[in-house]
Amino acid sequence: MERPEIKEVKKDVERRMHGAVEVYQKELGGLRTGRASASLLEPITVEAYGGQMPITQVGTVGVPEPRMLTVQVWDKALVKATERAIRDSGLGLNPAVDGQLLRIPIPVLTEERRVELTKVAGRYAEEARVAVRNVRRHALEDFKKAEKEKLISEDEHRDYSQEIQILTDKYIKLLDEALDKKEREIMQV
């Protein structure tokens, strides 16, 4: 093992922690709130041209009203497949076909469903926190090994560990803020 350069280690740790936050935010985008959001349809894939394609590659997703989504399908032959993909997505959406335009009304969420969605958001947040902490744990293990092999001093190990903890706290705080915002969005009537 060679001497770890703290700048490189910090950059790698920050990149991995940032990745965990991005994945979490993408998962939150798929959670339905009472309002329409184009990101709601992003996880949906449509059977097209002999394979599965993201819905954003078969049409334009729009949000004309707070409780309405639209998908302007580019190829007339894919309208039925797109409609079926939305119905089968498990999001509880029921599109209405108007030529090549799909109108998707967003139903009002019940209180029970809102509570359920906040629990799902919380579970996603905890998974992301665990991912961030795992990144920290791996970095700290590397520092401990480097100290054992006399590549860094005890003081350097302590300083590096403190810097990694500061990064960890920063990303955990970002996750908590995103969860708080999403919970307020979900519970808003």
Could you read off the pLDDT of 90-128 as tens digits, one per residue?
Answer: 777 899 999 999 999 988 778 887 888 888 889 889 999
- CATH architecture, domain defined by 38-105: 2-Layer Sandwich (3.30)
CATH 1.10.132.20 residue ranges of the chain are 6-29+110-187
The confidence score (pLDDT) of residue 138 equals 94
- Residue 22 or 37, more confident: 22
d(CA 168, CA 135) in angstroms, rounded, equals 9
Tell me which DSSP letter residue 49 carries: T
The confidence score (pLDDT) of residue 117 equals 81
The confidence score (pLDDT) of residue 34 equals 66
Q: CB burial class (10 A; 0-12, 13-18, 19+) of residue 166?
A: exposed
Side-chain half-sphere exposure of 176, counting CA atoms within 13 A = 6
Task: Give 159-174 as a 3 state SS string.
Answer: HHHHHHHHHHHHHHHH
- The CATH code belonging to domain 6-29+110-187 is 1.10.132.20
CATH 3.30.1360.40 residue ranges of the chain are 38-105
Of 74-83, 111-120, 153-162, give the lowest mean pLDDT range. Answer: 111-120
What are the C-alpha distances in Å from 104 to residues 36, 92, 94, 167, 176?
9, 10, 6, 41, 31
What are the C-alpha distances in Å from 73 to residues 31, 169, 188?
23, 44, 31
The pLDDT of residue 88 is above 60: yes
The confidence score (pLDDT) of residue 176 equals 96
d(CA 17, CA 40) in angstroms, rounded, equals 24
d(CA 68, CA 102) in angstroms, rounded, equals 10
